Structure 1
Amino acid sequence: MSFEATISTKVPSNWWQYPYPYDVVSIAASQEKLQKENLIDSYTTESTEQSYGQRRFRKCLDPKIGKLGRKVRYGCSKRRNKSRRLDGLCNDYENPASGSLYYRFGRNVPLNATVRDKKNLYNPNPRDISRTLMKRKTFIPVTIVNILVAGWVQFMTHDWFDSGKNDRCRHFKVPIRYDDPDFCKTMDIPMTRPDSCRNSKDYDTYQKLKDGKLKLTSKDRLPIDPSTGLPITGNSLNWWVGLERNPTWNDKMLYNTARLIIAAVIAKIHTLEWTTAILQNDVAKLGLKSNWYGITPFEIARGNATLAAWLIKQFPQLSNGIPGAIGNPKNIRGVPYSLTQDFIAAYRLHPLLPDEFEVRSHQTDELVNRYNMKDTVFEKAESVFEENSMEDLLYTFGNDYPGAMTLHNYPNFLRNLDLPTTSPHGKGKVDMATIDILRDRERGIPRYNAFRRLFHLTPITKFKDLTTNPTHAEELRHMYNNDVELIDFLIGSLAESPLPEGFGFSDTFFRIFTIMARRRMEADRFFTDDYTSEYYTQWGLDYIDATYMKDILLRHYPLLASQLQPNVANVFIPWKSQTSLDKNFPYPLY
């Protein structure tokens, strides 16, 4: 009997209101249904001329046909591909281009639902939404996590996906109201180039090796690109994680093995630390552990042998528990791997950023410096590192709160951002909140209600169904002209309340996370079939298993020991709030 059949054909939306273990079964039902129906290959005959996924770009050729396909297949031998290629090719021998540079993004909704609605591209006006629903009036913190959560997710997303350079010859012209304080007449936003493809970058972009090591400056930092004023990672805040990629090994083969190991450590940190910090919920944590290590029926039953026996009787497939993705056979579930446009939409987490921050001494907690974020972006970011020690910055970010993922909490510095010439948008002034709304519409992300239907969730019928905040409900009703079907995916997700206990973002976002979090690992041969000592070395496998973010910080910044030891377990949770060591970290074992 499947989880889905046990609950119903319509997966319950408010799973957190169910008693245990039905909340767990409800999420399992959702996962099962999404894995069957919501992994969509963009390279299919279902594509239409209007679909964002339509093939229009030569570099995005179907990998199964043409010169690209033949060339890739010829080079994908096991002997020649024992490490991750910089272009991402040959991870899947049967679908060698899947998930690689220039490979088309997939979808989590049917392709015929991703048609850009040109008629409603500016309905409602994205800039009006930014001013009315997203503008930060006062900073609303989320107190369960720290600002390292924002830094980490920026580091991850810049490596996961990139839509490439925008089309500077074609622009959207967002109408601007006469009383707009920051923009005049129209806001010109470059269009995404047709058929945007996955483009993983960052550290793999900069491969200056000497004796198996990355080239660093005398201060152990990545060099500055003189044309942009930025570190060569591609982003000014990403290099701090890269120190862990600099083992003292002496040739390219060992360097590539180190890349394998560090990629696995990063995936583990994201799965078992970052995500469990922003989703401090027992059911979510159980699911995340199942993604990496797997879980036993005894763990699912929270140590209750009688309940474990009942669960196995009801669901025979649980007799051996839920196996983890790591080290088990690769499973692409019949769909070649790629990240999805819908996944990208769910990672629009800009409200996490504050508009200002204070740097405090890691030794005394005294104020050292105070900054406005607008004065620390792009080439200005380097001055922050020059004026402060990394220990003070990490201590500050380890204790300060990020912004809550809610309405009226979008960073104001991003809503009136001066871009340098080197930016993908070109020089000028933009409103990132407007762009977030417009990009989802441009790329065919269904509106909130349509998205929930396609994800087998209950749609709303009234604005008050979406939020318990009556002011927000009225603002939404006015902005969307009494039509709940027009609510944008991002806006609906920011407005959702109440949230499940311990959640740092909406349940709708969570549904995308649940399907793609496991897929990123179970479809990757280096986390599955080839997660062996032959590829990683036994030392590497042991290192991955033993290493958490705290270990990395202490290895590179031992002066933080007095702040991290002995009580801090998860560095993405405010350090001062961890007054006693969680001996069961990262997960309780019943």
Structure 2
Amino acid sequence: MTDERVAEYESTADEPDKPGAFQRWYDHVTDDWSREKPWYELPKALGLAQLIGIRDTLRQQNLYDTSRLPAVNPTTAPPFEERFLTERTPDGSWNDLEHPEMGMANTRFGRNVPLENTMRDDERMLIPNPRVVSLKLMTRDKLDAATAGNAIIASWLQFMIHDWFRHGTSPTDRPWVMPPVEGDTWPTPPVQVMRVPDDPTSPPDATGPRTFINTNTHWWDGSSIYGNDRAAQMFLREGSGGRLRLVNGLPPVPDDPDKDPTRTPGFWLGLGMMQALFTHEHNAVADHLAAAHPEFDDETLFQKARLVTCAVIAKIHTVEWTPAVTAHPTAAEALHVNWYGLAGEKLHDFVATFSKNEALRGIPGTRTEDYGVPYALTEEFVAVYRMHPLVPDDYDFRAAKDDAPTLGAKQFTELTGPHAVPILQNVSLGDLLYTFGTMNPGLVTLHNFPRGLQQYTRPDGKIMDMAALDITRCRELGVPRYCEFRRLLHLTVPKTFDEVTSNKEWAAELAEVYDGKLEDLDLIPGVMAEDLPEGFAFSDTAFRIFVLMASRRLNSDRFFTEAFTDDVYTPEGMQWVRDASMGTVLTRHCPELAPYVDGLPNAFGIWKRASSPS
């Protein structure tokens, strides 16, 4: 493209910076250092220095492109329009102005490991039996709680996942059929896992690494409240004032049951709560901008409010949600550096007036950078976000005003699919959030998989074992198994099961299930068995993907970098983002939550309960 305004935005994004001699030396030293003494065992300053080197190494060595593999009828972007310079498109196209299809819906997942290491091993797809892994290693007897956090953490995770990735609807033919397990009480044997849809852009005669399509946009663009195409977006919009539609306080649902998102596997009360909360947040932003800019029409108000709301979501995830599940002082500092830089929150605005240095001022507002590899979410990223143990099985619904029972005790299975809709309609959002805020999520460890997901009845009546599915899916998608995964992420590799975990009972169980073959150990049980760093709800191995992809989701997105400006967002919108936190969002729309949220350093921490009625 030759458009002059496009050239203005792309002028600094032609070639990635090559690491200099000092950076190469620094990265090499920290890479070796991290194998001898991990970052979480060091003083904060040294640990932070090590994490910076780890991230540099991962950026240079763990981004792999699948978009240039052979393709037929690949997804293409719509024709360019001038408005794409200052607004997000419904399908994610034109975020990158030179490669407009980058990151759009129905394009391929990338990888964090070499493509030759992602080949599916069909002969060992069901070895060991994923159902055995589920029963013997995953089954939860009692919740092993992450005591510092609250269960909104689990709701938020599902909200983000519905924004970021989806492999599409699985075909019902040729399922993976689990061999029978002696004594299994599965109600409708055999246990089956439906396959991932084939990549329609992969040539029929293609050999080599398989590729897979993300039917969501890859960007942090609020797909879970805005949809992934124009038709879905227009259905959700009110048509005036830039607002989204609300029906009895909730996003609208199509009349066609086949398009009803509450009947899609994965919908539950926690997701519905977040969708409702941030639909209200979008509308509050739109109203604020309308008051400041009476000259804006509905379309302008909607697009500006969407930009602001997406930035609020990204900020909350970066500086609140992720530090809540990685509550180690060094990790929390590193994540704040992603947004505020080493200058910190108090000095950020001042430093940002004269510096574009990412380390000093944080990523937002700096140059767009993809480190020489077109941006895409990756299958390894999907794998480490399979954090179902965060979800509790047992809920006790109570009122924010006085802790009095509302719905009382409920099981997770009573909160999924269409079961969640009447609860969302009949119980106030504040009371639902209070219930989640005053209970703990689970740790992402062995023997902590939700019972309600180990035997989960979908809205269509099919029964699934999500633990067995997670194991099967990683194998099917070519995600390396545990030892190889660590090897490829520059981590030390255990030589025995006792080196995977200090829990002797777990080590013995792993050895039994995997018949003593350590290299066969799947990624998910491997990371769930690991000893956790202080304050962490999940493993350091999984955190390596976070270190890489958390910053990449910001670095590569023009609307968080070069277009993160007053001109694009409006001064009022930028101020809204600066002032926003999960606490301000919660109390803005549910003021009854202020006594529990105000004063908390992080709204994802556990809340105090109200005084119970006598």
TM-score normalised by length of structure 1: 0.86
Deviation at 1:5, TM superposition (A): 2.9
**Counterpart among 596, 600, 603 of residue 571 in structure 1:** 603
Deviation at 1:8, TM superposition (A): 4.8
Question: Is 1:223 matched up with 2:255?
Answer: no
* 2:496–2:518 contact (8 Å) kept in structure 1: yes
Question: Is 1:392 matched up with 2:434?
Answer: no
Q: Give the structure 2 partner of residue 342 of structure 1.
A: 380
* 1:114–1:443 contact (8 Å) kept in structure 2: yes
Deviation at 1:20, TM superposition (A): 4.6
Question: Is 1:352 matched up with 2:390?
Answer: yes
Gaps in structure 2 of 5+ consecutive residues: 1-21, 200-211, 217-222, 291-296, 348-355
Q: Please give the per-residue CA displacement for 1:170-194, whole angstroms capped at 9, x wherever unaligned.
A: 3111112242101555222221112
Q: Please give the per-residue CA displacement for 1:335-355, whole angstroms capped at 9, x wherever unaligned.
A: 110000000001001001111
Q: Please give the per-residue CA displacement for 1:116-148, whole angstroms capped at 9, x wherever unaligned.
A: 011110111000000000011111111011000
Structure 2 counterpart SS, 1:175:
coil
Aligned pairs (5 A) from 1:25-424: 25-44=49-68, 55=71, 58=72, 61=74, 68=76, 72=78, 75-76=79-80, 78-183=82-187, 185-195=189-199, 196-200=212-216, 201-205=223-227, 206-207=232-233, 208=235, 209=237, 210-211=239-240, 212-217=242-247, 219-226=248-255, 227=257, 235-236=267-268, 237-238=271-272, 239-240=275-276, 241-246=278-283, 247-248=286-287, 249=290, 250-296=297-343, 321-368=359-406, 369-421=408-460
CA distance 1:474–1:320, change in 2 (3 Å): closer
* 1:105–1:198 contact (8 Å) kept in structure 2: yes
Matched residues, number: 534
CA distance 1:10–1:403, change in 2 (3 Å): same
* 2:358–2:366 contact (8 Å) kept in structure 1: no
Q: Which moved more, 1:395-404 or 1:180-189?
A: 180-189
Q: Give the structure 1 partner of residue 578 of structure 2.
A: 545
CA distance 1:393–1:8, change in 2 (3 Å): closer
Deviation at 1:464, TM superposition (A): 0.8
Please give the alpha-carbon distance, in whole angstroms, between the structure 2 residues aligned to 1:335 and 1:536.
27
Please give the alpha-carbon distance, in whole angstroms, between the structure 1 residues aligned to 2:29 and 2:194.
48
CA distance 1:34–1:320, change in 2 (3 Å): closer
CA RMSD of aligned residues (A): 2.5
Q: Please give the per-residue CA displacement for 1:356-375, whole angstroms capped at 9, x wherever unaligned.
A: 10012212223331101112
Please give the alpha-carbon distance, in whole angstroms, between the structure 1 residues aligned to 2:358 and 2:385.
33
Q: Give the structure 2 partner of residue 24 of structure 1.
A: 48
Please give the alpha-carbon distance, in whole angstroms, between the structure 1 residues aligned to 2:179 and 2:345.
58
Amino acid at match of 1:165: T
CA distance 1:404–1:541, change in 2 (3 Å): same
* 2:341–2:358 contact (8 Å) kept in structure 1: no
Amino acid at match of 1:98: M
Deviation at 1:19, TM superposition (A): 3.8
Structure 2 counterpart SS, 1:357:
strand
Q: Give the structure 2 partner of residue 6 of structure 1.
A: 29
Please give the alpha-carbon distance, in whole angstroms, between the structure 2 residues aligned to 1:449 and 1:551.
43
Q: Give the structure 1 partner of residue 549 of structure 2.
A: 516
Please give the alpha-carbon distance, in whole angstroms, between the structure 1 residues aligned to 2:381 and 2:359.
28
Amino acid at match of 1:192: V
Deviation at 1:287, TM superposition (A): 1.3
Amino acid at match of 2:117: A
Please give the alpha-carbon distance, in whole angstroms, between the structure 1 residues aligned to 2:514 and 2:390.
25
Structure 2 counterpart SS, 1:400:
coil
**Counterpart among 513, 527, 532 of residue 560 in structure 2:** 527
Deviation at 1:44, TM superposition (A): 3.7
Q: Please give the per-residue CA displacement for 1:44-80, whole angstroms capped at 9, x wherever unaligned.
A: 45xxxxxxxx74xx45x2x7xxxx3xx65xx235544
Please give the alpha-carbon distance, in whole angstroms, between the structure 2 residues aligned to 1:190 and 1:124.
18
* 1:223–1:232 contact (8 Å) kept in structure 2: no
Structure 2 counterpart SS, 1:520:
helix
* 1:229–1:378 contact (8 Å) kept in structure 2: no
Please give the alpha-carbon distance, in whole angstroms, between the structure 1 residues aligned to 2:188 and 2:345.
62
* 2:120–2:476 contact (8 Å) kept in structure 1: yes
Q: Which moved more, 1:351-360 or 1:21-30?
A: 21-30
* 1:106–1:341 contact (8 Å) kept in structure 2: yes
Please give the alpha-carbon distance, in whole angstroms, between the structure 2 residues aligned to 1:438 and 1:255.
41
Please give the alpha-carbon distance, in whole angstroms, between the structure 1 residues aligned to 2:82 and 2:52.
35
Question: Is 1:441 matched up with 2:488?
Answer: no
Amino acid at match of 2:224: D
User: Whose helix fraction is larger, Structure 1's or Structure 2's?
Assistant: 2
Q: Which moved more, 1:509-518 or 1:288-297?
A: 288-297
Structure 2 counterpart SS, 1:191:
coil
Q: Which moved more, 1:185-194 or 1:336-345?
A: 185-194
Q: Which moved more, 1:523-532 or 1:223-232?
A: 223-232
**Counterpart among 530, 535, 538 of residue 496 in structure 1:** 530
Q: Please give the per-residue CA displacement for 1:413-451, whole angstroms capped at 9, x wherever unaligned.
A: 111111122xxxxx4111010000000000000000000
Amino acid at match of 1:273: E
CA distance 1:375–1:528, change in 2 (3 Å): same
Q: Percent sequence identity over matched residues?
A: 35
Please give the alpha-carbon distance, in whole angstroms, between the structure 2 residues aligned to 1:320 and 1:125.
46
Please give the alpha-carbon distance, in whole angstroms, between the structure 2 residues aligned to 1:378 and 1:461.
43
Q: Give the structure 2 partner of residue 450 of structure 1.
A: 484
CA distance 1:233–1:518, change in 2 (3 Å): farther
Amino acid at match of 1:332: D
CA distance 1:20–1:286, change in 2 (3 Å): closer
Please give the alpha-carbon distance, in whole angstroms, between the structure 2 residues aligned to 1:96 and 1:359.
46
Please give the alpha-carbon distance, in whole angstroms, between the structure 1 residues aligned to 2:596 and 2:523.
40
Amino acid at match of 2:214: R
Q: Please give the per-residue CA displacement for 1:536-588, whole angstroms capped at 9, x wherever unaligned.
A: 001101110111111111111112223333x223110012299xxxxxxxxxx
Structure 1 counterpart SS, 2:519:
helix
Please give the alpha-carbon distance, in whole angstroms, between the structure 2 residues aligned to 1:569 and 1:375.
32
* 1:261–1:536 contact (8 Å) kept in structure 2: yes
Amino acid at match of 2:29: T
* 2:324–2:604 contact (8 Å) kept in structure 1: yes
* 2:379–2:477 contact (8 Å) kept in structure 1: yes
Structure 1 counterpart SS, 2:601:
coil
Structure 2 counterpart SS, 1:492:
helix
* 1:39–1:109 contact (8 Å) kept in structure 2: yes
Deviation at 1:319, TM superposition (A): 10
Please give the alpha-carbon distance, in whole angstroms, between the structure 2 residues aligned to 1:176 and 1:251.
58
Q: Which moved more, 1:171-180 or 1:345-354?
A: 171-180
Deviation at 1:22, TM superposition (A): 2.8
* 1:121–1:442 contact (8 Å) kept in structure 2: yes
Structure 1 counterpart SS, 2:364:
coil
Please give the alpha-carbon distance, in whole angstroms, between the structure 1 residues aligned to 2:159 and 2:428.
20
User: Whose strand fraction is larger, Structure 1's or Structure 2's?
Assistant: 1
Amino acid at match of 1:401: N
* 2:403–2:609 contact (8 Å) kept in structure 1: no
Deviation at 1:289, TM superposition (A): 1.5
